[in-house]
């Protein structure tokens, strides 16, 4: 029957794709195992292949089941989509599309909506139907009623391919769950798992947007990894890259001999710095493709949050361009209005469709309203990485302790704009690559001071408003830069300094989770109050964190090499304040000699604008947390 040639796919099925309203285009495009019914033969099992190539004059299906000789596909009238149903073909079949483009040249392409792909250097798409049975219903039910802004979020960012080099998704499911549970992080964030042939791109140059990388296993094995994390109570964030795509001639670029997914004008369609193409966000089919892709990972793989990479490069037409190398918008401005509309669309749609999902922006400028709701004129993200805080903090840490007094404001300035967005404080992979040095090697002086400074800084960070993110290896002070070609230097985590830092993170995460004052009001002024923001002479900062019930934690951080043995701070209440963290504890490879014997006692002596005060010991290059006991 004629419709069987296209597996029952019609132009009506594709109308939403062409209007930009098909947010599940993977159900129509790509390779799908189907059972068709024939009046004479009954059930016919096979696979329908469908690909959008509107400017092609001919498309053939090249596959292992036809000895790569090519079977002609059929153009569905008025759709620009070519389809073919092939009887007897199922999971595991290899295929590509051979596209005779508008330029008169044959282009062999992989499936833009392929669900699985060969390992590089091979690149054929693979027919794949999931048979995975999920066991994370309890997690999804809890997630649906979650309030992310008012909950604890400490994120462990990692690169799956090198966290423990050579491990598969299945092996990582055991090892990551065990380690992250022991360390106490609430979430993991995976650098992009979408298929990418060039390993040093870390996944940020994607060739197969719907396929998890095959180096580590099959798609259902990645589902197993996510499932295991959820069963352990750990959320999963995935890096998503809608900002650009690489120019590999077998992938999305010039797909049908024309600029199909990308802008034709290189002033709008290419990132010179990265050697990549930029999506044409104003094209309806591209919007359908990208919004569908975001929803696909969230629904088909149960991902809890998408961290959108390089948002600034999407927002600005002149991003990394000189005068005359970009095209202004219709109002003469530099904002990419089509990209802004697209981001609002994808954020709105995912929040509407998937209860509890979170969208996170890696956005490095002061663009207004990144985390404001779309209906209030914002972009609609849930969180934004605080790149300003990160840059300022790392500049401060790099200073010799004696010079930090002249750069004190670097550590306090973030509170000036703290409530302009909902922030995540990131110490990500970007800070420990390309000659920037590891975190420990950013800090001056000897090993003792380096480790002490890091312990103090991470304690400062965990006590500061905003959700937390660190990159794998930072938690045990790896000295080498991140290198995707080798595993993390796990062996050093048994050594002095490294082990102490790792144990500090374990306790930091426990204390953080146990004290809502450290996270419940992150995005509200009521959750934070400086005790003393101006003690630059002592390189010391102190503040209060509060929760909705009025419980309070005081944080005191000393970034000088001197101990302060009688340091007076104002406190909101008299009575006992328990020392719940001291980064100089012997357990963490500190001195163990500059503590407060478990608690201090505040008396009704006003200080720092507070009704009570106390003196305490603040260790050199150390941070102390105090919790009011009454």
Catalytic sites, residue numbers: 309, 362
Which stretches does DSSP call E strand in 357-444?
A: 358-361, 383-385, 423-427
Contacts 24+ apart (CB under 8 A), 409-418: 411/460, 411/541, 411/559, 412/530, 412/533, 412/541, 413/388, 414/386, 414/388, 414/389, 414/464, 415/465, 415/528, 415/530, 415/533, 417/388, 418/465, 418/466, 418/528
Parallel, antiparallel or unpaired: strands 125-126 and 94-100? antiparallel
Largest pairwise CA distance in the chain = 94
User: How many whole angstroms separate alpha carbon 230 and alpha carbon 244?
Assistant: 30
The set of residues, in sequence order, having a beta carbon less than 8 Å from that of 446 and lying 6+ positions away, is none
Q: Closest Cα partner for 97 from 255, 218, 205?
A: 255
The set of residues, in sequence order, having a beta carbon less than 8 Å from that of 141 and lying 6+ positions away, is none
> For the purposes of burial, counting CB atoms within 10 Å of the CB of 337, is it exposed (0-12), middle (13-18) or buried (19 or more)?
middle
- Phi first, then psi: give them for residue 120, nearest 5 degrees: -60, 145
Residues in the chain, overall count: 630
User: How many whole angstroms separate alpha carbon 301 and alpha carbon 323?
Assistant: 43
User: How many whole angstroms separate alpha carbon 109 and alpha carbon 193?
Assistant: 21
- Element containing residue 86 per DSSP (H, E): strand 81-87
User: How many whole angstroms separate alpha carbon 159 and alpha carbon 176?
Assistant: 11
Give the angle 376-378-383 at the CA atoms, nearest 5°: 120
Helix and strand counts by DSSP (H, E) for the chain: 12, 30
């Amino acid at each position: 029957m004629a419709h069987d040639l296209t597996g029952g796919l019609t132009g009506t099925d594709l109308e939403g794709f062409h209007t930009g309203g098909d947010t599940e285009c993977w159900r129509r495009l790509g390779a799908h195992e189907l059972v068709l019914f024939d009046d004479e033969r009954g059930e016919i099992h096979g696979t329908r292949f469908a690909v959008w190539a509107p400017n092609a004059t001919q498309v053939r299906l090249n596959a292992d089941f036809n000895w790569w000789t090519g079977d002609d596909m059929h153009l569905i009238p008025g759709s620009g989509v070519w389809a073919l149903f092939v009887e007897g073909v199922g999971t595991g079949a290899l295929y590509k599309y051979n596209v005779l483009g508008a330029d008169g040249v044959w282009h062999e392409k992989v499936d833009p909506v392929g669900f699985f792909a060969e390992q590089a250097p091979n690149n054929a798409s693979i027919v794949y139907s999931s048979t995975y049975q999920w066991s994370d219903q309890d997690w999804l039910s809890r997630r649906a009623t979650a309030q992310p802004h008012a909950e604890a979020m400490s994120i462990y960012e990692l690169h799956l391919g090198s966290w423990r080099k050579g491990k598969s998704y299945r092996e990582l499911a055991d090892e990551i769950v065990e380690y992250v549970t022991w360390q106490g992080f609430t979430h993991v964030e995976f650098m992009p798992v979408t298929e990418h042939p060039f390993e040093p791109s870390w996944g940020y140059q994607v060739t197969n947007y719907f396929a998890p990388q095959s180096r580590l296993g099959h798609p259902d094995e990645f589902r197993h990894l996510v499932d295991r994390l959820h069963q352990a109570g750990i959320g999963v964030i995935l890096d998503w890259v809608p900002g650009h795509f690489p120019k590999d001639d077998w992938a999305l670029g010039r797909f049908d001999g024309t600029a199909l997914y990308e802008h034709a004008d290189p002033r709008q369609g290419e990132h010179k710095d990265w050697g990549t193409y930029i999506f044409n966000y104003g094209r309806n089919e591209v919007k359908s493709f990208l919004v569908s892709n975001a929803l696909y990972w969230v629904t088909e793989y149960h991902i809890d949050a998408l961290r959108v990479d390089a948002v600034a490069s999407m927002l600005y037409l002149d991003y990394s361009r000189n005068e005359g190398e970009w095209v202004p918008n219709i109002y003469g401005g530099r904002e990419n209005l089509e990209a802004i509309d697209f981001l609002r669309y994808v954020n709105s749609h995912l929040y509407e469709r998937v209860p509890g999902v979170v969208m996170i922006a890696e956005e490095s400028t002061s663009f207004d309203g990144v985390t404001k709701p779309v209906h209030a004129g914002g972009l609609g993200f849930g969180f934004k990485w605080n790149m300003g805080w990160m840059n300022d903090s790392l500049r401060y840490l790099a200073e010799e302790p004696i010079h930090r007094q002249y750069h004190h404001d670097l550590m306090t300035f973030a509170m000036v704009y703290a409530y302009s967005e909902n922030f995540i404080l990131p110490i990500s992979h970007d800070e420990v690559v390309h000659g920037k040095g590891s975190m420990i090697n950013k800090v001056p002086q000897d090993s003792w001071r380096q480790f002490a400074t890091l312990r103090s800084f991470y304690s400062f960070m965990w006590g500061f408003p905003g959700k937390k993110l660190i990159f794998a290896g930072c938690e045990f002070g790896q000295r080498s830069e991140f290198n995707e070609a080798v595993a993390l230097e796990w062996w050093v985590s048994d050594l002095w300094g490294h082990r102490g830092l790792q144990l500090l993170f374990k306790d930091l995460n426990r204390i953080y989770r146990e004290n809502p004052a450290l996270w419940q009001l992150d995005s509200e002024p009521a959750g934070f109050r400086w005790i003393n923001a101006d003690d630059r002479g002592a390189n010391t900062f102190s503040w209060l964190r509060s929760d909705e019930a009025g419980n309070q934690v005081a944080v005191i951080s000393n970034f000088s090499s001197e101990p302060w043995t009688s340091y007076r701070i104002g406190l909101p209440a008299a009575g006992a304040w328990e020392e719940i963290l001291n980064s100089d504890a012997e357990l963490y490879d500190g001195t163990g000699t500059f503590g407060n014997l478990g608690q201090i006692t505040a008396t009704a002596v006003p200080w720092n604008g507070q009704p009570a005060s106390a003196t305490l010991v603040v260790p050199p290059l150390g941070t102390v947390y105090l919790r009011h006991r009454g």
